[in-house]
Chains A and B, each alone.
Chain A
């Protein structure tokens, strides 16, 4: 790796506070936010112009979500001021910000699983009849229309929790995007979406911009940000690095500003494709034959060998998550055989799956994280057996957690912190670490790098490669072509419940993958 110092512009240590540019719709001046002794934001300036899409970038924990929560009234700044259309404002609640036309899609879903899709789209302001009763007919019709505009076709009367995660995310987006807000904040809206839904979302974002709405878009997919944003702001370690027009910026330049050093290896784009390595010669650990799950998977077969990473690529509704859930005892297949080390097994529960040596990381962080428990408890849960008998030793538990915090790069690296206080990407590192405290036989990872920044993604993929070297069979599920292309030995593409294509020992590219999905 070569350092290219000449290519780096020195970053001013502390940005000077210029007067707000004329015409800014929303401006923040010198905003500081502390949590305990930690500074999440340190004198940050931010400006949003009318009718622009403003990208917000930075490493995990840089302060992006915190800045946006201040804009949307969810958190109050310790210092600094905010002006909206030239008038100084201070929001004490999200409702207040909403009343002033600011709507936000939070990083973690804030929808309610027990309510219907339509109720979630209109959460908080359902259309009512004159008597104040909810007008179901109108609400359902409007929700249906809005979701269709985002390219989603679902029964709006069904329970939200019955939908796959990506669709739940679209419902959340629809709620804010069509609320008529002048400022729409999207905090990593595409981290649970596959390419198709993302593209639909970008189209809707551009349409909104054309109508004069301003949007803020946070994402770790730098190409997406470059494609849709007019300007970008980069945060690093709680400070603002720069605000620049997107035109003329490159992915590499963005990464340099985000992490503050040369990053040519991280900027590699897989557009041209990669050549898969020669097939692994090892006994199969997992064999699936003719697996069918009603409404999700039809006649799927696949094999994962010891020391092999098999990538499973597909979009929403491809059925790959259902295969993973069946392997972890969460769904009962209708037909087909699952063999583990050559022996047929029927998996009825997660406990049994764990005993068989299967580890599964779900794609849904809500279903994996314990926000009100400490990081160390989050990390040691899957393999507590190692700490007993007869009674726990706190020291050895903390030792294991500390090691794992280090390996996954959680920041801040303090195992006593409640997991809910971590930034989104760092929460993901915690839930990933849970399954790495002991070597499983078969490791199933569903979107393991969700919400991680480019550097962290790279590190996690390297970590997975390390496990492979130790002989673990890895099944890697992702709707993100890069994730499967970087490390997989073989790649299977799924579409509408079927395995449509297998790539082995040959050249694959993003386009090729997508063509089969």
Chain B
């Protein structure tokens, strides 16, 4: 049968020897190009911001500001963003991040001070909070994947439910007693050496998420489900389970973020705010992960969170910007960063639409 292909594929050792190195040379570059642009463009943005703020302010590039102003401040966002990355990678969305984190934060404080059904949970309340977070996330996932309510709507509805529950549990009043564990994990003051503990927590969460996404079967299923859901299904991947689990992970990390936040603020206030939701999704997308699924990853998310953190932190320190215009300036920077991502992908990606 061996068809002697001139460029030597199956047969012909000589053909293989000559064609192979050339083919892999260019093809490797091409193959990785798309992915690299996805990582390089945000990295350039990040470096640009760091250089810019270092030159324009005295206070930006100081050990203190880097650790406490940026890394420690945005650790909460990083934790939530790790889970959100899973959701965006499989081409879904989670709009309940902020509300779930609020509810779980409130719950963990509530369990600390109030016995439920006569049981004083104490620090175990933290564990119960995590389980509750995963369950809420799974509920999102179940309705989105199996019942086919679009995740956009489902998580929006869940957001309202979670907010309502948070207000109901606390009767609208803030709780000022917080488990010591959370103060240790989330508190800005708690440090190991020069490293704030929340930063370590965030690093661990990101690392675990990266390992799951890059080196496990489930992780690969997430990418493939986002890349082409139908094709994944036709390859024997249980895509509905993948989607449900991704939303569960997102719920879990949102809950963790909520607890860290409670530890940081040393109190739980059932005040609705969508800041965390916007920060999180903005960070993931700034990092280059596609909103349409299948492309990106935790490395992108890490860079995205840093871009977002540097931008907000840096702008605060630039003198001569009126606080009234600051927000608009921030928006312009965001558009600029996104533009760079898009342009880089355009340059790298040869149109392959119709084929």
B27 touches A38 (CB 8 A): yes
Asked if A350 lies at the interface with its beta carbon under 8 angstroms from chain B, I say yes
Asked if A331 lies at the interface with its beta carbon under 8 angstroms from chain B, I say no
Q: How far is the CA of A368 from the CA of B215 in the complex (A)?
A: 23
Q: How far is the CA of A455 from the CA of B7 in the complex (A)?
A: 14
Known pairs A261-B4, A392-B215, A413-B20; A351 contacts B236 (CB<8 A): yes
Known pairs A351-B238, A458-B3; A36 contacts B220 (CB<8 A): no
A388 touches B3 (CB 8 A): no
A381 touches B1 (CB 8 A): no
Known pairs A37-B26, A237-B6, A372-B227; A420 contacts B235 (CB<8 A): no
Chain A residues whose C-beta falls within 8 Å of the C-beta of B28 in the assembled complex: 414, 416
Q: What secondary structure prevails in chain B residues at the interface with A?
A: helix
Known pairs A368-B234, A370-B231, A373-B223; A388 contacts B217 (CB<8 A): yes
Asked if B295 lies at the interface with its beta carbon under 8 angstroms from chain A, I say yes
B354 touches A392 (CB 8 A): no
Asked if B211 lies at the interface with its beta carbon under 8 angstroms from chain A, I say yes
B355 touches A354 (CB 8 A): no
Asked if A135 lies at the interface with its beta carbon under 8 angstroms from chain B, I say no
Q: How far is the CA of A366 from the CA of B228 in the complex (A)?
A: 9
Range of interface residues on chain A?
A: 35 or more
B288–chain A nearest beta-carbon distance, Å: 14
Known pairs A349-B238, A392-B216; A65 contacts B355 (CB<8 A): yes
Chain A residues whose C-beta falls within 8 Å of the C-beta of B230 in the assembled complex: 366-367
- Which residues 320-376 of A have a CB within 8 angstroms of B? 328, 330, 349-351, 353-354, 360, 362, 366-374
A67–chain B nearest beta-carbon distance, Å: 13
Asked if A409 lies at the interface with its beta carbon under 8 angstroms from chain B, I say yes
Nearest residue in B to A415 (C-beta to C-beta)?
B31
Known pairs A37-B26, A37-B29, A381-B237; A455 contacts B228 (CB<8 A): no
Asked if B352 lies at the interface with its beta carbon under 8 angstroms from chain A, I say yes
Asked if A412 lies at the interface with its beta carbon under 8 angstroms from chain B, I say yes
Chain A residues whose C-beta falls within 8 Å of the C-beta of B24 in the assembled complex: 414, 416
A267–chain B nearest beta-carbon distance, Å: 13
Greatest chain B CB density within 10 A among A259, A366, A416 is at A416
Q: How far is the CA of A366 from the CA of B6 in the complex (A)?
A: 30
B211 touches A414 (CB 8 A): no
Greatest chain B CB density within 10 A among A362, A372, A392 is at A372
Q: How far is the CA of A256 from the CA of B34 in the complex (A)?
A: 38
Q: How far is the CA of A35 from the CA of B221 in the complex (A)?
A: 30
Known pairs A237-B7, A384-B220; A424 contacts B355 (CB<8 A): yes
Q: How far is the CA of A338 from the CA of B282 in the complex (A)?
A: 50
A411 touches B9 (CB 8 A): yes
A369 touches B231 (CB 8 A): yes
- Chain-B contact segment, one of A49-57, A104-112, A152-160, A207-215: A104-112
Chain B residues whose C-beta falls within 8 Å of the C-beta of A382 in the assembled complex: 235-236
Asked if A202 lies at the interface with its beta carbon under 8 angstroms from chain B, I say no
Asked if A496 lies at the interface with its beta carbon under 8 angstroms from chain B, I say no
B34 touches A418 (CB 8 A): yes
Q: How far is the CA of A35 from the CA of B6 in the complex (A)?
A: 20
Which of B22, B236, B237, B294 makes the CB contact (< 8 A) with A37?
Answer: B22
Chain B residues whose C-beta falls within 8 Å of the C-beta of A65 in the assembled complex: 355
Nearest residue in B to A360 (C-beta to C-beta)?
B234
Chain B residues whose C-beta falls within 8 Å of the C-beta of A384 in the assembled complex: 217, 220-221
A445–chain B nearest beta-carbon distance, Å: 13
A421 touches B9 (CB 8 A): no
Q: How far is the CA of A328 from the CA of B1 in the complex (A)?
A: 32
Known pairs A35-B30, A385-B217, A414-B23; A406 contacts B9 (CB<8 A): yes
Asked if B233 lies at the interface with its beta carbon under 8 angstroms from chain A, I say yes
B3 touches A350 (CB 8 A): no
Known pairs A354-B236, A382-B236; A106 contacts B354 (CB<8 A): yes
A13–chain B nearest beta-carbon distance, Å: 13
Q: How far is the CA of A74 from the CA of B294 in the complex (A)?
A: 25
Interface string of A235-269 (1 = CB under 8 A from B): 00100000000000000000000011100000000
A370 touches B355 (CB 8 A): no
A459 touches B1 (CB 8 A): yes
Asked if A501 lies at the interface with its beta carbon under 8 angstroms from chain B, I say no
B5 touches A412 (CB 8 A): no
A372 touches B236 (CB 8 A): no
B35–chain A nearest beta-carbon distance, Å: 9
Chain A residues whose C-beta falls within 8 Å of the C-beta of B20 in the assembled complex: 413
Asked if A462 lies at the interface with its beta carbon under 8 angstroms from chain B, I say yes
Known pairs A373-B223, A407-B10, A423-B355; A391 contacts B31 (CB<8 A): no
A409 touches B5 (CB 8 A): yes
B355–chain A nearest beta-carbon distance, Å: 6
Chain B residues whose C-beta falls within 8 Å of the C-beta of A414 in the assembled complex: 23-24, 27-28, 31
Asked if A198 lies at the interface with its beta carbon under 8 angstroms from chain B, I say no
Chain A residues whose C-beta falls within 8 Å of the C-beta of B9 in the assembled complex: 406, 409-411, 413
A260 touches B217 (CB 8 A): no
Chain A residues whose C-beta falls within 8 Å of the C-beta of B217 in the assembled complex: 384-385, 387-388, 392
Chain A residues whose C-beta falls within 8 Å of the C-beta of B31 in the assembled complex: 374, 414, 416-418, 421
Chain A residues whose C-beta falls within 8 Å of the C-beta of B215 in the assembled complex: 391-392
Nearest residue in A to B223 (C-beta to C-beta)?
A373
Nearest residue in A to B2 (C-beta to C-beta)?
A459
Known pairs A377-B220, A381-B224; A416 contacts B27 (CB<8 A): yes
B331–chain A nearest beta-carbon distance, Å: 30
Q: Could you list 20 A-B pairs, sorted by A, with CB under 8 Å?
A: A36-B29, A75-B351, A106-B354, A106-B355, A108-B355, A350-B237, A351-B238, A369-B228, A373-B224, A382-B235, A384-B220, A406-B9, A407-B10, A409-B5, A413-B23, A416-B32, A421-B31, A423-B355, A424-B355, A458-B1
Q: Which residues of A contact B (CB under 8 A)?
A: 35-38, 65, 69, 74-75, 106-108, 110, 237, 259-261, 328, 330, 349-351, 353-354, 360, 362, 366-374, 377, 381-382, 384-385, 387-388, 391-392, 406-407, 409-414, 416-418, 420-421, 423-424, 427, 434, 455, 458-459, 462
Interchain residue pairs A-B with the least CB separation, the first 6: A37-B26, A354-B236, A414-B27, A416-B31, A106-B354, A36-B30
Q: A36-B29, A367-B230, A420-B352 are in contact. List 6 more A-B contacts (CB 8 A).
A: A37-B26, A38-B30, A69-B354, A370-B224, A413-B9, A418-B34
